[in-house]
Chains A and B, each alone.
Chain A
Amino acid sequence: MKKGKTASPVASAAPIAPADATLAAPLLHTRLTLIETAEPEQLEELMADRRIGPLLVARLSDCVAVVAPGNAREVQRWLLKAGHTPRIVGGAP
């Protein structure tokens, strides 16, 4: 993403996933990077951020979004740069 841009009011491109009638059985999605916030507003704020928002490609709930594959480091870097101090859970040591 281009650097140095401020947060935009652009709404999230990823709405909360609706029920999927095409799914016949549960599907397991592995090796995902999730962002989890304490409040929905905080996630909205992140999704509206020009640097972090485009990296969040699916929203599973009000407070949980999925990071685009291959962008886990990138999203951590931007979060720290934006002054957030996220708790990092899981991943290879």
Chain B
Amino acid sequence: MSRLTVYPTLDEYERQLPDVNERLSGINADKLKKMARVWVGKDAYKLNKESAIQTLKRCFRDPKAVRLLAENLTPIERDGLMLMKLRERPVVYTEELAAELLLLHPIPFNPGRGYYSTSGKHYERLNEMLERGLLARCDGRNEDFGDSYSYYVCEAVGVVADFSDIIEVAPPPALPLKPVAEAVSLVTRRPGELLLQLTSFHQAFDRLGRMQIMAKGQYAAPALNKLGKLLGWREAESSATPLHSAVEFYLSLFIAADLLRVNYVVREISLNPQAKIQAALELPLDQQARIWAQAYRSLRRWKEYSSRESYYYSETEGGQTKDNALRAALLLALGLLPDPAAWYRINDLSEVMRQRLGRHFSFGYLHSYSAPWKATPEQQQAALAKYEMDLMVSWRGSEQVWIEHALAGPLFHLGLVELAREPRNKSEKLTLFRLTEAGRAALCDIFKPGRQPAEAQSVSRKSQREQITQTCWIVQPNFEVVVYLDQAAPRQLGFIERIGVRQKSDAAVVTYRLTRESVYAALEEGLEARRLLETLESGSRHPLPPGVARTLSDWAARRERLTVRLDASVIEFPDAAARDAALAEGKVKGAAIGDRFILAEQSEQALKRALPLGGVVSYEPEPPRSLIVNDDGAIMISPNQHDLLIEGELSAYAEATGSQMFWRLTRESVSAAQARGWTADEIINRISRRSMLSLSRFLQYAIHAWLRDKSAPGPAAMTTPPLLQTSTAEEADAICKNVFLRPHLLARIGACAVLVKPESVKDLRKLLNEYGFELGKEVLLPAPAESEKKK
């Protein structure tokens, strides 16, 4: 059995957050005192281990102590707790918070004695918070991150006390970036395009139902292909804003947004039943943008770009990686632009990020500064210049390219940024970016406390109502629906994706075709026929063509005429009077069927309580085995196993013999079944499922033979030619090779057995007698083996 790799979600990490008692007792006294000092000041050093634990536990629970501590936090700690508050949960991915803290509070460069190792410093700010006891690792361990002897990094950390009401959200200082005055060749993602992509992904996954994953959590290629086929997306790698492996990207995005759920035990991805996906897709774009930005930051198994250098350090598993760290830093940097509505150079943004992160963060090999032993100031200067140059070259070749891909790929496609060219730049490359309105809402406005969520929600509901009544499509008499994306509300797009088949789409217009199958699928998913027509009409710029409206009604009515009931329960009564009495007395809820049946609406338990049942027969996953089948084809229904279906099943391929309890398989009965479309294998399978004992091979051969199919028994013979037997194989050899005896022989059929031509029996006997062979008339049976004799 292959090893399963499980990557918990933040919800699961939250549940794993170690118990305070358990965690504190594992920390040594010195560290505990240091942690207690944060809460109670210098007096902490007078405490022993146990009293330090008790003090910490009391402080964690005491709102007054928490408030007091909040007033004395360092700026790093305050920002760290604020970044967690913005996430609205007590746990955070380690990589994300470490990179964000490093961006906000870069570590001063101090070459010291001619050597500066950056190993592990990426986590330095986070480690400070761990050491001071403000954060705890979700794995319950107490070591710092970035230990050079361990590559293992616990994926998540959590806060030890509830600071959410005390820590205020305030925008950190803006980055030192200079806006660009003019931008040309603006490339914008229309909101409708994004909504269409998100909606179509949801609808396609909903149709797929679930998707297989591999043992280590990778997406299974056949399932990805199937999803891609349902989506019908084309990869636009050659465009200026490529999003490679778009299906995998959106899959990872929906998982990170907790709209899809990964079940590692059964190895499949399915819709999260708790998530209101449709409701999320119907939120105004600025609110949706926040969901998608957060999900993008944490998404796994998809990366913007892999440089050659980082290839050697690639993290192939599905956990949090350095991509998550850089995504977190990039999103935070975008939220700290001096003027959120202005254009900026991608290179400038990258350079600011390099200055803050580059010395301690790299996808690949991280350069260390080292000057020669007893270096002169000039030599130190030269070594420092080389170190800086190496860092810059490495960043520009790897992290900067990654940032360019992130802006032109996911951030552009999620509608968070728009791109442009510089007026005097001859290159076609999009070198400028600007936050969109949704991008500003998701990345900048989160630092501005003001609009309450409830208020925002009511505004969104109002705008939703306005949107849903908008006319945004034209329904043509040929069942094609032309949808204008700019005017379509998310709910309308979701509706049309459900009832139609997408034919073609561009940035502004999408064409769908209403087919019987697509409308049927939508009705089966729970859409009411009346609502289907109303919604189609309300979104249409013109009245529905009469032919289309009539046909849609016909399709819906046709569905109502035929019902397949799965997992139904039927009560069988001895006669109509008993059935009617049970219904009249109100003992059973359900609908009468025929003369003596009720289609029950209650559960089995409820029915057992309501009626004196003679028994319960379940037909799935295996029907009752109520048949006794003899080798000769005679079948008896076991009198103890009364079964509603068995007679009907038998009547398809067997003949009743007098009583309805006795049946027989005959050539005629199976031939009649064959005439109705049955095959021998189907008959055998059907009897085998119902037979108490396995069906004899002889009867199986007989059924195949009666139907003359491929598995019928091969030719057999009962021969008349006389048999010549000898005592040994050598004697038989001698006879067969003899020239004058050979014309009398037909074939050798064994070591000591030869068939003789019937007309030669007399002549051959004479010749053999003549040559001394004594011929008896009895068949020579082989002598029993020694073991047989003993038995």
Whether A associates with B in a native complex is yes
Q: State the A residues within 8 Å of B (CB).
A: 1-2, 5, 8, 10, 13-14, 16-17, 19-39, 42, 50-51, 53-54, 56-62, 64, 66-70, 72, 75-76, 79, 84-92
A-B contact pairs, 6 of them (CB 8 A): A23-B572, A27-B617, A28-B616, A29-B570, A30-B619, A31-B567
Interface residues of B in 532-570 (CB under 8 A from A): 555, 558-570
Please tell me if the beta carbons of B677 and A5 are within 8 angstroms of each other in the complex. Answer: yes
Contact B648 A66 (CB under 8 A): yes
How far, in Å, is A44 (CB) from chain B's closest CB? 13
Q: Is the CB of B569 within 8 A of A30?
A: yes
Q: Which of A54, A79, A85, A86 has the most CB of B within 10 A?
A: A85
> Which stretch in B297-305, B351-359, B606-614 binds the other chain?
B606-614
Q: Provide the residues of chain A in CB contact with B561, threshold 8 Å.
A: 37-39, 42
Pair B574/A90 contact, Cβ less than 8 Å:
no
A34 CB to closest chain B CB (Å) equals: 4
Contacts of A56 in B (CB 8 A): 648
Residues on the B chain within 8 Å of A64, using CB: 593-594, 597, 599
A85 touches B555 (CB 8 A): yes
Q: Which residue of B lies closest to A91 (CB)?
A: B566
* A26–B577 CA distance with the chains assembled, in angstroms: 12
Say which residue of B560, B599, B675, B689 sits within 8 Å of A38 (CB atoms): B560
Closest-CB distance, B521 to chain A (whole angstroms): 10
User: How far, in whole Å, are A15 and B622 apart by their CA atoms in the complex?
Assistant: 24
Taking a contact as CB atoms under 8 Å apart, the answer to whether B678 and A25 are in contact is no
Q: Do the beta carbons of B558 and A85 come within 8 Å of each other?
A: yes
Which of A26, A50, A92 is most buried by chain B, counting CB atoms within 10 A of its CB?
A26
The CA of A17 and the CA of B596, in the complex, are separated in Å by: 9
| In the bound complex, CA of A37 to CA of B563 (Å) | 6
A17 surroundings in chain B (CB, below 8 A): 572, 594, 596-597, 644
Cβ-based interface call for B59 (8 A): no
CB nearest to B521 among chain A residues: A85
Instruction: Knowing A2-B677, A33-B564, A76-B564 are in contact, say whether A27-B595 is a contact too (CB < 8 A).
Output: no
Residues of B within 8 A of A22 (CB): 642
Closest CB of chain A to B499's CB: distance in Å? Answer: 14
* Contact among B565, B611, B648, B649 with A90 in the assembled complex (CB-CB below 8 Å): B565
Please provide the chain B residues from 491 to 509 with a CB less than 8 Å away from any CB of chain A in the complex: none
Q: Say yes or no: is B240 at the interface (Cβ < 8 Å to chain A).
A: no
Instruction: Establish whether residues B652 and A34, one from each chain, have CB atoms under 8 Å apart when the complex forms.
Output: no
Is the pair B642, A23 in contact by a Cβ cutoff of 8 Å? yes
Q: Which of B564, B567, B612 has the most CB of A within 10 A?
A: B564
How many angstroms between the C-alpha atoms of A87 and B676 in the bound complex? 27
Q: What is the CA–CA distance of A61 and B422 in the complex, to the nearest angstrom?
A: 78
Question: Is the pair A25, B597 in contact by a Cβ cutoff of 8 Å?
Answer: no
Chain B residues with CB under 8 Å of A92's CB are 567
Within 8 Å by CB of B516, from A2, A20, A29, A85, lies A85
Q: Are A25 and B613 in contact (CB under 8 A)?
A: yes
CA distance A69 to B704 in the complex (A): 23
Residue from the list B599, B616, B648 in contact with A57, Cβ < 8 A = B648
Pairwise interchain contact B596-A27, C-beta atoms closer than 8 A: no
How close is A86's CB to chain B, nearest CB, in angstroms?
A: 4
User: How far apart are B332's CB and chain A's nearest CB, in angstroms?
Assistant: 41
**Is A88 touching B564 in the complex (CB atoms < 8 A)?**
yes
Q: Which residues of A contact B524 (CB under 8 A)?
A: 87-88
Check A86–B623 contact: CB distance below 8 A.
Answer: no
Bound Cα distance A51, B622 (Å):
22
Contact flag A87-B559 (CB < 8 Å), given A27-B614, A54-B676:
yes
B679 within 8 A of A: yes
Instruction: For residue A13, give the distance in angstroms from its CB to the closest CB of chain B.
Output: 5
Inter-chain CA distance A84–B642, complex, in Å, is: 33
Residues of chain B lying within 8 A (CB to CB) of residue A14? 647-648, 651
Q: Is B198 an interface residue (CB 8 A)?
A: no
**B618 contacts partner chain A, Cβ-Cβ < 8 Å:** yes
Which residues of chain A have C-beta atoms less than 8 A from B644's C-beta?
A: 17, 27, 29, 32, 58, 66
Q: Is the CB of A58 within 8 A of B677?
A: no
CB < 8 Å neighbour of A33 from B568, B576, B593, B642: B568
Distance between A66 CB and nearest chain B CB, rounded to angstroms: 6
A26–B600 touching, CB < 8 Å? no
Question: CA–CA, A84 to B207, complex, Å?
Answer: 20
Cβ-closest chain B residue relative to A56: B648
Contact of B565 among A25, A30, A69, A89 (CB under 8 A): A89
Chain A residues, Cβ within 8 Å of B516: 85
Q: Are A19 and B575 in contact (CB under 8 A)?
A: yes
CA distance A89 to B565 in the complex (A): 5
A60 to B615, CA, bound (A): 19
Q: Given A5-B677, A23-B614, A57–B652 Cβ distance below 8 Å?
A: yes
Question: Within residues 603 to 635 of chain B, which ones have a CB less than 8 A from any CB in chain A?
Answer: 604, 607-608, 611-623
Residue of A nearest to B620 (CB): A31
Distance (Å) between the CB of B681 and the closest chain A CB?
11
Of B555, B576, B594, which is within 8 A of A16 by CB?
B594
Docked pose: A35 CA to B596 CA in angstroms:
17
Inter-chain CA distance A61–B607, complex, in Å, is 22
CB distance from B634 to the nearest CB of A (A): 20
A2 CB to nearest B CB, Å: 5
**Closest A residue to B597 using CB positions:** A60
Q: Are A36 and B562 in contact (CB under 8 A)?
A: yes
Q: Which 8 A-B pairs have the closest CB atoms?
A: A91-B566, A61-B594, A25-B614, A14-B648, A57-B648, A31-B620, A69-B623, A58-B648
- The complex places the Cα of A68 from the Cα of B623 at a distance, in Å, of 9
Within the complex, the shortest CB–CB distance from A65 to chain B, in Å, comes to 9
- A85 contacts B599, CB within 8 Å? no
A2 touches B562 (CB 8 A): no
Cα–Cα distance between A60 and B524 once the two chains are bound (Å): 25
Q: State A90–B564 Cα separation when bound (angstroms).
A: 9
Bound Cα distance A87, B565 (Å) = 8
C-alpha spacing A61/B591, complex, angstroms: 12
B573 within 8 A of A: yes
* Smallest Cβ-Cβ distance to A22: which chain B residue: B642
Interface pair A27/B571, CB less than 8 Å apart: yes
What is the bound-complex CA distance between A70 and B600, given in angstroms? 21
